[in-house]
Amino acid sequence: MILIALAMAVCVTTAAIVLIVFIVWTVGLGNILWSVGLTGVDRTLPVYTLQQVPSTHPGYRRTTVTSGTTVYVNDYDEQALQLQNQGPTNAIGRFSYSAAKIYAIDGQKPTAYVAVDVGSEMPAYGVFRNSQQPPFDWRHATFRAMEFTGQIGRTEHKRTTDPSLIDDVVHTLREGTPMTSPALTMGSISNLCGVLLFSDQLPGLTFCPYVYRDPSGPIYLVESFVMYSANPKQRIQLRWIPVSPLFAKWLETP
């Protein structure tokens, strides 16, 4: 029994020593890799900090990334903006706590808009506006093309350059009276599709309002949407405007 106890003590001690050595070696290797830049983070890039506070628009949050006196913001006005190139590569800044970076947008000056990696395990880019730059005025912009993204798994993607159809969508959003939808389950989000509006006044980006296609038939342009938790399921609530007959016919035409 004494020999068995001694053997067990030796095994436990040996395992502990091996674990400690492994941790020390791993941390040391991580520091070495960081110092030579093999972690994928360019330490010469300016460091930005991120802050998030409630927005003045109900249900939204105001997120800022800051380096020195340079501040970029993502709020209600930026939620409808999307990158045309979903994989930016020209990094102009980084965060100190992760490998996420801030990128220049193709066609845009960094003094106006940048893309910020806001993903967790996978990259996902949000559009951030320089706080000294006024929000994009989509209400008075000229759009040259429009694309409907369609639902996942369905071949509904279509594109038009018809100015009357494009103006109809913008007019509905601008002049229509939004109504608050019933509380919808998260499963209904598959009925949300994007409408990409392209303007020469917004190079490298698109203005992207959403369309909600109710399973019962009606179609709405989404002015804004809010996600909130309500046990036992997470839910979503939209502010929507019924689409015009012209736009509805275009959506339903093959």
**Would you say residue 190 lies in a domain?**
yes
Residues 118, 180 share a domain: no
Residues 144, 118 share a domain: no
What is residue 7's predicted lDDT score, i.e. its pLDDT?
Answer: 43
Share above pLDDT 70 across residues of the chain, in percent, rounded to a whole number:
76
Mean pLDDT of 114-133: 88
Residues 101, 84 share a domain: yes
Where does the pLDDT of residue 75 fall: very low under 50, low under 70, confident under 90, or very high at 90 and above? very high
Question: Does residue 27 carry a pLDDT above 80?
Answer: no
Residues 91, 53 share a domain: yes
**Would you say residue 89 lies in a domain?**
yes
Contacts of 36 (CB under 8 A, 6+ apart): none
Residues 164, 235 share a domain: yes
Question: Does residue 1 carry a pLDDT above 80?
Answer: no
Return mean pLDDT, the chain: 80
* Distance in angstroms (rounded) separating the CA atoms of residues 19 and 142: 64
pTM of the model: 0.78
Question: Does residue 32 carry a pLDDT above 60?
Answer: no
**Would you say residue 98 lies in a domain?**
yes
**Would you say residue 214 lies in a domain?**
yes
Residues 238, 212 share a domain: yes
Residues 105, 52 share a domain: yes
* Distance in angstroms (rounded) separating the CA atoms of residues 75 and 54: 9
**Would you say residue 8 lies in a domain?**
no
Q: How far is CA 174 from CA 99, 137, 187, 199, 217, in A?
A: 40, 11, 28, 17, 23
Domain end call among 77, 98, 130: 130
CB atoms within 10 A of CB 232: 5
Residues 142, 248 share a domain: yes
Mean pLDDT of 158-166: 95
pLDDT in tens, 174-221: 999 999 888 777 666 778 889 999 999 999 999 999 999 888 889 999
Where does the pLDDT of residue 121 fall: very low under 50, low under 70, confident under 90, or very high at 90 and above? low
Residues 246, 146 share a domain: yes
Which domain covers residue 211, as residue numbers? 138-252
**Would you say residue 197 lies in a domain?**
yes
Domain end call among 102, 130, 158: 130
- Give 38's Cβ-side CA count (13 Å radius): 7
Question: Does residue 42 carry a pLDDT above 80?
Answer: no
Where does the pLDDT of residue 41 fall: very low under 50, low under 70, confident under 90, or very high at 90 and above? low
First to last CA, the chain: 82
Residues 147, 217 share a domain: yes
**Would you say residue 15 lies in a domain?**
no
**Would you say residue 178 lies in a domain?**
yes
Mean pLDDT of 102-125: 89
Domain end call among 65, 99, 130: 130
Residues 244, 174 share a domain: yes
Residues 143, 125 share a domain: no
Domain count for the chain:
2
